[in-house]
Structure 1
Amino acid sequence: MNVVFCSQCPAVWSFMLTAFLGLWSQQVSAVSVVPIPKIAAVGENVLLSVDGVSGDIEGFNWYKGESINTNQMLRYNPFRTPPETVFSPYEGRVRGFPNGSMEISGVNIKDNGSYTVQIQTNIQDVVATVTITVYEKLSKPSVTANLTHPVEQRDSLALTCGTSIAAQTVLWFKDSQRLTSDDRMSLSQENRTLTISNVSTTDSGNYQCEVMNPVSHSTSDPYKLIVYSLPVEQHDNMHDNTWQTAVGVTIGAVLGAALLTITAVLYKKGCNCQRKGNDAGGNIYEVPDVSGVPPHQYSNIIPQRQEGIYINTLNPKAPDSTYTRFSYGAVPMITEIVFHTA
């Protein structure tokens, strides 16, 4: 028996193995999964469409995530009735198709992420992964300001676009013209706040913000901005100054007249002097004689009688008085004394 050694056999086997692996790689890489639509809105149905499978499909499995054997969603066996088994919590939301595809109905934000399919055919076992992205549909935004009456060259104004966090892009407009940052206008990191430094009357106008994401866009109602050149109190009340001044003068005059009348009445009642008469020199008033006032009206003087004559002396036995002044009874008030010489 002769043994023949082939010096080129290793090279031939290497070429055949490379060709086989290349063909197998082409078969595996030909399998693709595409989400339809590629970017979904909350509430839509998404089809994870499988294409390029070689051979007859004997079964497949779908998993949530980037690997198999964990978090299984669906098992499909075409030889069973019914062919599919859906696992919790996906019952009623997913279904399989004979070509290996799977549909998810009513997607939500939690459905964002990767999905992996494992397909068994009569000639191969393939695995492919796909990622889906779900966005909220944006509601109508609104514009609010930190100041309601900004004053020129005094205030800085901040306009905020109130919108969902799902907004990826925020644009600002004034009188339908797109706004960008400049020396006085600046935008926050996500463009949600527009700040105007040292506002001017030229900044007055209608401001709007527009929000967008891959599945929707919406524009706010116009926010009418008025920048005042006067302090807001003066601007709001300047048309009322005339009648307010007139009312003030009238009230002041009435109160003044009433005060003068009250003062005159009190003065007349408080004066107990009697008018004596007139002469060429002026008025002469008679001063009442208070010498006959009984001594007992003075609280800190003790009347004493010596030799039939009343005299008033301080009580030598009385303690130091706590009074700071003498306390008198009702004594007629002397308003004026006028002396005249012949």
Structure 2
Amino acid sequence: MVPPSAPPCRWHVPWQGFLLTASLFTFWNPPTTAQLSIEAVPPNAAEGKEVLLLVHNLPQDALGYNWYKGKMVEAKWRITGYVVRSQITTTGPAYSGREALYPNASLLMQNVTGNDTGFYTLQVIKLDLVNEEVTGQFSVHRELSKPYIISNNSSPVENKDAVALTCEPETQDTTYLWRVNGQSLLVSPRLQLSSDNRTLTLLSITRNDTGPYECEIQNPVSANFSDPVTLNVLYGPDAPIISPSDTYYYPGGNLSLSCHAASNPASQYSWSVNGTFQQHKQKLFIHNITVKNSGFYTCHAMNPATGRNRTTVKMITVPDASVPDSSPVLSAGATVSIMIGVLARVALI
């Protein structure tokens, strides 16, 4: 016969014990080893400067270590090595004479060049013969010289020409920025930038686009500005303005008219009266005018640089001195002024 089963055994554990066990599992983690790493100081360096490949968390049981150029641990790329016990430093095929190795495994790169840009691998040989490897990197940049701007057209014609401004020289790994009138470039349908931002094109240029223009170049280690460039935008002439605005003159007086039109370069002026050429000057002067000097006065402005010309016509009236009623009619304002003067005299009497 099979003996009856024994009753199950019941363990009585105090609830405080459960809490303590749970707390240990919750808050206790096994210690972890800090990871070996490399920090490049600085990560972006200027040519001719120094870079320190600073090693963090070097294993305590390290027997020695080697540095290699690149990501691979290969003998031909070995730069230098160090044996901890003997404190002996050795060099490899990739050693250039500009590297200095410290006992803490950090590697100092001196007088760096563009060829030094890239990856560097540290191999740590440990007591348990299980090697550790870690890779770091840095970049070397040239300090930028002062840029300059070249233009395909330094004297464009308004509303006719486009102008391309190019920031020189062309340099790799460089950011190009533009400033107009001391301000950052604003988005406009009349402005176009090349894919690398080196060339700024102004479409259908106007007289307001003279500038000055500056280009700025930047890389991770330096920045520089060009000298400002101003464009000589050719424009005009606009419609000439004849001054003064008077149209009636008394006989026996002098007639002096001046003509001006906005233009770059300055316009060349000529005058004609009633279709007859008078002179090539900006100002017209006639002494002791008579009724014969009445008529249409035309100012002609011409810009030889743009090939454009404009005219303005002004009618001048000189009454006939022999006809009493031919004097200019007084304006309402003039009539009121005379009446006030007469009334004032009557009051004084």
Structure 2: where are the runs of 5+ without partners? 1-28, 238-262, 271-278, 281-349
Aligned partner of 1:104 in structure 2 is: 109
CA offset at residue 167 of structure 1? Answer: 4.8
Contact 1:161/1:193 (8 A) holds in 2? yes
Contact 2:78/2:94 (8 A) holds in 1? no
Aligned partner of 1:331 in structure 2 is: none
1:177 to 180, 183, 202: 183
CA distance in 1, matches of 2:121, 2:173: 29
| Structure number having the greater helix percentage | 1
Quick one: which amino acid aligns to residue 170 of structure 1?
Y
Write out aligned runs for 1:74-85 (5 A).
74-80=80-86, 83-85=88-90
CA distance in 2, matches of 1:58, 1:237: 85
Whichever of the two has the greater Rg, that structure is 1
CA offset at residue 136 of structure 1? Answer: 1.1
Aligned partner of 2:159 in structure 1 is: 153
CA offset at residue 115 of structure 1? Answer: 0.7
CA distance in 1, matches of 2:111, 2:131: 30
Aligned partner of 1:63 in structure 2 is: 68
Aligned partner of 1:119 in structure 2 is: 124
Within the alignment, does 1:50 sit opposite 2:61 as a pair?
no
CA offset at residue 239 of structure 1? Answer: 6.2
Within the alignment, does 1:188 sit opposite 2:194 as a pair?
yes
Q: In 2 relative to 1, CA 78–164 (structure 1 residues): closer, same or farther, beyond 3 Å?
A: farther
CA distance in 1, matches of 2:127, 2:59: 9
CA offset at residue 69 of structure 1? Answer: 1.9
CA distance in 2, matches of 1:149, 1:167: 32
Q: Alpha-carbon deviations, 1:173-199, whole Å to 9, x = none?
A: 111011133210011111100000010
SS in 2 for 1:202: helix
CA offset at residue 235 of structure 1? Answer: 5.8
Contact 2:63/2:84 (8 A) holds in 1? yes
Contact 1:140/1:163 (8 A) holds in 2? no
SS in 2 for 1:225: coil
Structure 1 window deviating more from structure 2 (29-38 vs 146-155): it is 29-38
Within the alignment, does 1:220 sit opposite 2:226 as a pair?
yes
Aligned partner of 1:328 in structure 2 is: none
Q: In 2 relative to 1, CA 149–76 (structure 1 residues): closer, same or farther, beyond 3 Å?
A: same
Q: Alpha-carbon deviations, 1:211-266, whole Å to 9, x = none?
A: 111111001000011211159xx96696699xxx99xxxxxxxxxxxxxxxxxxxx
Write out aligned runs for 1:216-295 (5 A).
216-230=222-236
CA offset at residue 91 of structure 1? Answer: 3.2
1:128 to 131, 134, 137: 134
Structure 1: where are the runs of 5+ without partners? 1-21, 247-342
CA distance in 1, matches of 2:47, 2:111: 7
CA distance in 1, matches of 2:97, 2:268: 69
CA offset at residue 88 of structure 1? Answer: 3.8
CA distance in 1, matches of 2:204, 2:219: 33
